[in-house]
Structure 1
């Protein structure tokens, strides 16, 4: 089985996420033997950010690092677990809210499109929006 990075690259629709993870040196973390949950925004989710946002983030590595880390939780959190919890702590240090209703999940304001893509070192849940921690959003 492949690790989180190999699985995301093979899927083909996480190029922007991989580019961001590379820019902030998170690839090694996502390839490490730890166990992680990756809430992975699709390339389309990144494309839906306001125009110019991604370019600005790629020039602001500390901010981009917080955003990438905000998409990663420690441990293997599968859909069965998502039903039981209402939040998860991220590597960024903040909490993401988890909602479940009618067999569907949300992470903060993002819809979970697909759950439980298993890898050697964790699990990927595909989301339809980029998660922005409150500190970065300026809220």
Structure 2
């Protein structure tokens, strides 16, 4: 039997050492309590390197108090209600002719496909992001680590 994860999504992100930007953004957006609640949630978690790929100054601008609404929109676009494992995603992709549409907490959609054995997510602006580490189980859901930041429409 698999060991039950004891850390929630936020605690897990804080412990990785590669999600410092995400954690700072979650704090700035006031989403710590939400992502620490029972959920369950599925979070696609961009690494610090993923945030670093955004144009210079983007993160610094987003975490300013006056941009909290925009930041919240972007972050909730990385969360999906319920616990969706990589296996669930692959089944959904295969059941839908190679492409699955996922509705996020923000209300927008993401498109998941398989490319070279990896789950690749396309955001509303056409940006492609690869899941680089799947199924990081938490007490209130699952985290999939990504190499890019999703941008909603």
Residue of structure 2 in register with 1:26 after alignment: 31
Residue of structure 1 in register with 2:7 after alignment: 2
Higher Rg of the two aligned structures: 2
CA displacement at 1:84 relative to structure 2: 2.1
Scaled by the length of structure 2, the TM-score of the pair is 0.85
Which segment is superposed worse, 59-68 or 101-110?
Answer: 101-110
Residue of structure 2 in register with 1:81 after alignment: 88
The list of structure 1 runs, each at least 4 consecutive aligned residues, that deviate by more than 6 angstroms after superposition, is: none
Residue of structure 2 in register with 1:125 after alignment: 144
Aligned alpha-carbon RMSD (Å)? 0.9
CA displacement at 1:90 relative to structure 2: 0.8
Q: Number of paired residues?
A: 134
Q: What CA distance in whole angstroms lies between the structure 2 residues aligned with 1:102 and 1:54? A: 31
Q: 3-state SS of the aligned residue for 1:82?
A: helix
Q: What CA distance in whole angstroms lies between the structure 1 residues aligned with 2:20 and 2:103? A: 25
Please say if 1:63 is aligned against 2:70: yes
Q: 3-state SS of the aligned residue for 1:30?
A: helix
Structure 1 gaps of 5+ residues are 135-139
Scaled by the length of structure 1, the TM-score of the pair is 0.93
Please say if 1:39 is aligned against 2:44: yes
